[in-house]
Structure 1
Amino acid sequence: MAAFSAWFWNERFWLPHNVTWADLADPAPGVEYPKARHLLSALPLALGIFAVRIFFERFVARPCAYMLRIQAEMGRRAQPNTVLEKVFTSITKCPDSRHLDGLSKQLDWEVRKVQRWFRHRRNQDKPSTLTKFCESSAQKWRFTFYLCIFIYGLRFLWQSPWMWDTRHCWYNYPYQVLSPGLYYFYVTELAFYWSLVFSQFTDIKRKDFLIMFIHHLATVGLISFSYVNNMVRVGTLVMFVHDSSDFLLEAAKLANYARYQRLCDSVFVVFSGIFFGTRLIIFPFWILHTTLFESWEIVGPYPSWWLFNGLLLVLQVLHIIWSCLIARIAYKAIVRGKVSKDDRSDIESSSEEEAEPVKDKAKPLARCSPKGENGTNGHFSSGAWVQDHW
């Protein structure tokens, strides 16, 4: 274990040339530099945030739902069938015409009956209106957090010299004293993203579960990485740039839940403009410029510098990809007057399908593609997972 610790905390990787961990010991009483052990305080805070959210959902949101007469309605359940259940769990949830024909002959059922069974079986996992209402409280929580952390970050950075001259991120690096405001900014952000990792296991399961889980872990890793090697000044700029648009997307989601479609579309278009400005202009020409060029000039490269900048460049590639997806959604919102549905949901509406006969046997499950009930389940398509940090 000692050998692994020595290898992992190798000074030649983490620190600039001729700098050691001993050099970063506290220079005077009450004055200190960032240390890895500080990050441990984020874990109990994350558990506290998660506990508050669970408490709110169960003891505030759920009673409110009952007062509004929102019930956990039970949909039609598929009749037990061993053969179809095996196909559903191990082969496909949306069988094509070839599978439908084979199962129809095997069970001596009409194709329409087999199709209906699969639809009912898929909808068994559909979250009720009550569940979705309670989950919307999580969106209110995220909106509140993103808005508060954005205001806090703006207030903190407004009086910080590196906000106006990014070269201050590297002057006297890594001997930059950790201020209380900077510490609270970092630990709060880190704790919140740890809480998102925890809450994924209690939220409605969606198709992007694994993607979001990896994304949240990567966010936690990048925040921790920049803290350990004292790149916290530029780290606050990165977090602030991302926070500037996050609360707008959560606001649009809340408008979507409240069925204020026009407000939802308007806020989403505003979010899109700010997202493009911060991720495609400010981030590359302000953040990447200082991490790549100004730091090279003032500090010089070293191994963790290369890794940090490599990760930021990968992040910029993701920004470009996500911006293309958001532009497509925003375009639909402007042209069609409605934000597109959530591609992540595994829920489908059955009312229309129930009334339609099978006209084209080659496309018996044309409605098998995921969609939200009544066109929405409180999230946007690609934009629902675009908004998060690093």
Structure 2
Amino acid sequence: MDLYNWFWSPSVWIPPGYTWEDLAPREGHPYPNSSDLWVYPFIIAGSLLSLKYFILMPYVYAPIGKYFGVKNKHHKLPPVNLCLEKVYKKYKAEPPQDVMRSVTSEIGWNERQIQRWLRQRGASLQVTKLEKFCDCSWQLTYYILYCILGFVVHRDKSWLYDVRHCWYGFPEQFLDNDIWWYYMISLGFYWGQTFTHFFTPQRHDSVQMLCHHTVTITLTSLSFMVNMVRIGSLILLVHECADIPLLLAKIFGYCRRQKMMDIMFVFFVILWITTRLGVFPLRLLRSTIFEAHVQQQMFYPIYYIFNGMILSIFLMHLFWTYNIIQVIAKKFSAKNIVVDVRSSDDDLPSNDDEVYPQIKDTKKEK
């Protein structure tokens, strides 16, 4: 009980001079109700996942993808090879050179044959292009609608035009119904993304994506609990726009529309720089660090935790910006472009009909 009281102590969660009772929702005082976080996001997540998997993917996205020639072909598993299976589990498709030499000696294959086997093993775990097309189409649908909702919700909000209004009167700021829905829908979507993350093939940045979903859910829930919904809603608004041209670029890539893919990728880079490296750090992050404590006495533990999470998201932006730079460099050094800057290449080179030699029997040689 002492630990519980310590954890939920007002001195940790809310500004000095306030108690939880002061900020409890009641008649005439529509403050955020923390218990909503344990009910409505999960109802929305279930509804969105049902809409995605039972209606939109089989009856809308898949037929559209097939119409545009997106393939639904699964790669075959390579022949059973216990030695290479161990190598793949540890190093995936890129084992160190010393391991490669050791395996070459052990099974009697050359390096090219081993590399082909490892690539085919990785390709066999990937979802098909049509499945990727459907998933991108689902995300695109969500982000377009949520982005439109965001601008509609914020059109008459003073803090959209002057971020300092996020802190005027804090924490005694009432929660509007449209902002409540804006929050619950976002949490529902990201809870759904987190659930499905564990049932989809792992990508090279799966850990980073899971961290992103976790930080997003935690930060959104935290800002709701402590009534930082104004700055929180702006962070949500800024973050959803850049994903739209990226998803369009990926969809055009699956449909083999190279020119449109390149155009959308250019729009994505412009929006990414504007929102993730411009507006987010220079307006929102700067406001939470340098303006919040000027308007209110914000020096209490949750303030630092909140800013720490925002900084962690910005660090993820820098990591993905590095990936974008790599993609751009690859574009100018080759004839192709990889549009998914936050995952591995869409198709690992793999020949399902590759003929592999027999494994060398080292026991007979001895």
Aligned length: 350
Once the two structures are superposed, what CA deviation does each residue of 1:189-242 show, in whole Å capped at 9, x if it has no partner? 111111110121233332222221122111100100111000000111111111
- What is the one-letter code of the residue matched to 1:195? G
Within a 5 Å distance, the mapping from 1:315-330 to structure 2 comes to 315-330=313-328
2:226 to 211, 225, 229: 229
Q: Do structure 1's residue 212 and structure 2's residue 209 form an aligned pair?
A: yes
2:131 corresponding residue in structure 1: 134
Distance 1:151 1:337, change over 3 A: farther
1:380 corresponding residue in structure 2: none
CA distance in 2 between counterparts of 1:64 and 1:354 reads 32
1:51 corresponding residue in structure 2: 50
Mapped contact 1:65–1:133 kept (Cα < 8 A): yes
Q: Do structure 1's residue 262 and structure 2's residue 265 form an aligned pair?
A: no
Mapped contact 1:167–1:290 kept (Cα < 8 A): yes
Mapped contact 2:265–2:339 kept (Cα < 8 A): no
Mapped contact 1:119–1:350 kept (Cα < 8 A): yes
Greater alpha carbon shift after TM alignment, 343-352 vs 50-59: 343-352
1:313 corresponding residue in structure 2: 311
2:27 corresponding residue in structure 1: 28
Aligned-residue CA RMSD (Å): 3.2
Structure 1, unmatched stretches of 5+, are 356-390
Deviation (angstroms), 1:292: 2.2
Q: Do structure 1's residue 180 and structure 2's residue 173 form an aligned pair?
A: no
| Greater RCO, 1 or 2 (C-alpha within 8 Å, sep 6+) | 2
Mapped contact 2:65–2:134 kept (Cα < 8 A): no
Deviation (angstroms), 1:70: 7.2
Deviation (angstroms), 1:350: 3.0
Q: Do structure 1's residue 160 and structure 2's residue 173 form an aligned pair?
A: no
CA distance in 1 between counterparts of 2:118 and 2:240 reads 42
CA distance in 1 between counterparts of 2:236 and 2:308 reads 17
Once the two structures are superposed, what CA deviation does each residue of 1:292-316 show, in whole Å capped at 9, x if it has no partner? 2322111122221122123223333
CA distance in 2 between counterparts of 1:42 and 1:229 reads 17
CA distance in 2 between counterparts of 1:68 and 1:276 reads 31
Structure 2, unmatched stretches of 5+, are 356-366
Distance 1:100 1:242, change over 3 A: closer
- What is the one-letter code of the residue matched to 1:219? T
Q: Percent identity?
A: 30
2:79 corresponding residue in structure 1: 79
2:349 corresponding residue in structure 1: 349
- What is the one-letter code of the residue matched to 2:278? I
CA distance in 2 between counterparts of 1:12 and 1:62 reads 53
1:13 corresponding residue in structure 2: 12
2:338 to 337, 340, 351: 340
CA distance in 1 between counterparts of 2:150 and 2:286 reads 21
2:142 corresponding residue in structure 1: 145
| 1:230 aligned counterpart, secondary structure | coil
Deviation (angstroms), 1:185: 0.5
2:237 corresponding residue in structure 1: 240
Deviation (angstroms), 1:256: 1.3
Q: Do structure 1's residue 283 and structure 2's residue 271 form an aligned pair?
A: no
Distance 1:38 1:337, change over 3 A: same
CA distance in 2 between counterparts of 1:66 and 1:254 reads 12
Once the two structures are superposed, what CA deviation does each residue of 1:160-195 show, in whole Å capped at 9, x if it has no partner? 111112222112111111111010001111111111
2:125 corresponding residue in structure 1: 125
Q: TM-score, structure 2 length as denominator?
A: 0.83
2:362 corresponding residue in structure 1: none
